[in-house]
Amino acid sequence: MAEKEVMEVMYPSIDALEKELAREKYRSNYSRVLRSTVFSLLVVAAVAVLIAVLLMPVIQVSGMSMADTLNDGDIIVALRGVKYGTGDVIAFYYNNNILIKRVIARPGDWVNIDSDGNVTVNDVPLDEPYVTDKAFGDCNIPLPYQVPEGRFFLMGDHRATSIDSRNSAVGCISDDMVVGRLFVRVWPLKQMGVIE
């Protein structure tokens, strides 16, 4: 009679089973935390995009028409749906671009600019501490000029180079063209602050 071979089955020890269970729990928790983190980041990103698009658009300045107030490359946060008036800096749509200019006059106001670049609104000289170099600039409108109803007269702070409401190519703008009033500069960090 042949001897039967007896195979001995080795079962893992309790210690090994506990280690394997702990490893599986870690993998499960890691996956759950990772999914939760990714979901949270996506929700935060979606909310940030909605805020940026609907309430506080972020705009990068391109060009020097608002120097010395704003410079090429500055990043600005604007506020949508807020009131703006004379002296406020606003962003507006023009030919699929966003331009940034300062509100000089409101609907019905009379604007005049002398050959030295001094601006008067309704025969009152404007106090413009934000303008460092006054210039007549690229003006092809008849002066004095009355701002049409429902429109605003805008000018850049760098008067010699700015193409703005002084030129009929841009003209006066209406409320529906406005992106928002510029609120705060966030870049560069050393110049971070409220736009005045």
| pLDDT, tens only, 136-156 | 888 999 999 999 999 999 999
- Domain co-membership, 32 together with 121: no
Please check whether residue 4 lies inside any domain of the structure: no
pLDDT (average), residues 179-184 = 86
Number of separate domains in the chain: 2
Q: Which of 6-15, 23-32, 93-102, 171-180 has the lowest mean pLDDT?
A: 6-15
Please check whether residue 109 lies inside any domain of the structure: yes
The share of the chain scoring above pLDDT 90, in percent, equals: 26
Residue ranges with strand state E in the chain: 58-60, 75-79, 89-94, 97-105, 110-113, 119-121, 124-125, 145-146, 151-155, 173-174, 178-187, 193-194
Range of the domain at 154: 58-194
pLDDT (average), residues 151-179 = 90
pLDDT for the residue 122: 94
- Domain co-membership, 21 together with 39: yes
User: What does the alpha-carbon distance between residue 142 and residue 130 come to, in Å, rounded to a whole number?
Assistant: 25
pTM of this structure: 0.70
Q: What's the whole-number average pLDDT of the chain?
A: 85
**What end-to-end distance do the CA atoms of the chain give, in Å?**
106
- Domain co-membership, 90 together with 67: yes
pLDDT for the residue 4: 59
With the C-alpha atoms ordered 115, 119, 124, 128, is the resulting torsion angle positive or negative?
negative
- Domain co-membership, 49 together with 122: no
pLDDT: is 108 or 23 the higher one?
108
pLDDT for the residue 109: 94
Checking if the pLDDT of 134 tops 80, the result is: yes
Please check whether residue 5 lies inside any domain of the structure: no
- Domain co-membership, 24 together with 119: no
